[in-house]
Amino acid sequence: MPVVAIIGAQWGDEGKGKVVDLLAAKAGVVVRSQGGANAGHTIIRQQKVILHLLPSGILTPKIKCLIGPGVVLDPDAFIEEVKAVEALGVDLKGRLTLDLRTHLVFPTHKLLDACQERARGKEMIGTTSRGIGPAYADKAARHGVRVGDLLDSRQRKKACGKLFDNHAALLKGVFHEEAPDRAAFMEKTEFWAETLKPFTGDTVALLHDALDRNQTIILEGAQGTLLDLDLGTYPFVTSSHPTVAGPIVAMGIPPQRIDSVIGVLKAYCTRVGSGPFPTEMDEKTAKIVRSSGGEFGSTTGRPRRCGWLDLVAAKQVARWNGCTGWAITKLDVLDNLEPIKVCTGYRLGRRNVQNLPAGADQWEAVKPLYEELPSWKKSAGARRWEDIPKAAQNYLAKIESFTGVPIELISLGASQEATILPRGEII
Ligand code: GDP
Ligand code: IMO
Ligand code: MG
């Protein structure tokens, strides 16, 4: 049975939540392996559910959901999300496991995130203020606190106290901010320990058990490849690896066990926060797309910047992840838009380039080269390939021919029904 990685192919918010929720019906296990509560994955069932930390398989009865060691977990956000899905009648008993190695995000990480952003001034990244950068920094510095540290009372007091004091010194000494009350924080860690305990376990071992039992496994990416800490538009990136490498590094899953890698590619681009965005639209066009695509952050509510589909970037992203197929989302949002442009080259100074820039200054300097393609009236409502307007079929064919990656899924609306699988079932 297959192991399928679902990877964001742009700057996040491509519609990974919908794709994972759809495929989850056929899966045994869904795994979140990186990122934290900066993610916002929307699922439309009878109601709209936005998940930040829980894998997007959680609404599908019986399947197992794992939160692995590569995630940074805000316990308050986790507890709130668990309550919210239970309130929807979702039975979590024995279905949700949180790895003992997963690092914790403290309230002071969020304060530090905000202080660091303020200190960056005009060069602010535009983070989600969820404490992601500071939490991964502490992990890399090897003084982070992990879920497992909470479970033994002495270890909890020691590890949490030490990191809190480190944060308090930073907040005061560097940013001239008072830290929150220490005693109240230590009390909170006790509450975290009690509440998280029933969910804790070894997700790496569980994943390998599932592999041995030949179960279908979905590796759910968070964020998008162009926000990757190493390969993205640094420093305007997140602090984890949203590529297929995410689960390989953090879940102990060997690369050859991953059977397919589906890149989720929105029919246009969006980006939240600052940083290079070569195909960004003029504000008049962006407003139209933002409004018809509902392009406002699922986590922060911020208006998303909108741009034309960047095929140069998509082709590189497919190479880096070894994409075996695309899931093209939000095709319906381009209905009635005229003209339709796609970027098929970059101009850097006097050169045409096809590789994504390695240097930050080059990222700022590249100019997109566009092709105009025929527009169409209405793809929304199509439920078979034949029902998609010819010009939209042509648009999809352009994506396939330019990137060399076949389209496995076409999404034309937020609901599960608004989906076409042109090559048959994915799993
Ligand atoms: P994720 O972070 O990649 O899971 O994406 P988000 O949930 O942050 O953003 C995607 C948004 O687009 C959500 O509001 C989805 O409900 C919505 N969506 C997903 N697929 C489609 C689609 O094909 N058409 C339209 N119109 N909306 C979609
Ligand atoms: P999903 O999983 C879109 C962006 C932030 C900011 C940068 C760094 O829903 O696709 P961070 O808080 O991670 O330190 O912010 O990364 N960002 C996202 N943008 N979708 C996301 O997640 C994102 N997670 C982080 O806007 O530019
Ligand atoms: Mg999102």
CATH for 3-100+199-257?
Answer: 3.40.440.10
Mention every residue, 6+ apart, whose C-beta is less than 8 A from residue 395.
267, 331, 334, 340, 342, 373, 376
Q: Hey, what are 354's tokens?
A: 């096809």
Pocket test for ligand 2, best of 19, 52, 125, 227 (most atoms within 8 A of CB): 227
Mention every residue, 6+ apart, whose C-beta is less than 8 A from residue 11.
223, 224, 226, 227, 269, 270, 271, 272, 277
Per-residue pLDDT tens over the stretch 162-203:
999 999 999 999 999 999 999 999 999 999 999 999 999 999
Fold of 103-196: Adenylosuccinate Synthetase, subunit A; domain 2 (1.10.300)
Per-residue pLDDT tens over the stretch 53-92:
999 999 999 999 999 999 999 999 999 999 999 999 999 9
* Residue 274 CA neighbour count, 13 Å, CB half: 14
Of all ligands present, the nearest one to the C-alpha of 12 is: 2
Domain ranges across the chain: 3-100+199-257, 103-196, 265-420
Mention every residue, 6+ apart, whose C-beta is less than 8 A from residue 407.
325, 326, 327, 328, 396, 399, 400, 422, 423
- Specify whether the CB–CB gap between 128 and 299 falls below 8 A: yes
Is the dihedral angle over the CA atoms 230, 231, 235, 239 positive or is it negative? negative
| Known active-site residue 109 | no
Architecture of the domain defined by 265-420: Alpha-Beta Complex (3.90)
In terms of DSSP bridges, do strands 305-307 and 269-271 run parallel, antiparallel, or are they unpaired?
antiparallel
Active-site annotation holder among 41, 109, 167, 241: 41
Q: Is the CB of 41 under 6 A from ligand 1?
A: yes
Q: Report pLDDT for 49.
A: 97
The residue ranges of the chain whose pLDDT is under 50 are none
| Known active-site residue 13 | yes
CA 99/CA 161 separation, integer angstroms: 22
359 phi, psi to nearest 5 deg: -95, 145
Q: Report pLDDT for 299.
A: 82
Q: How far is the CA of 137 from the centre of ligand 3 (A)?
A: 23
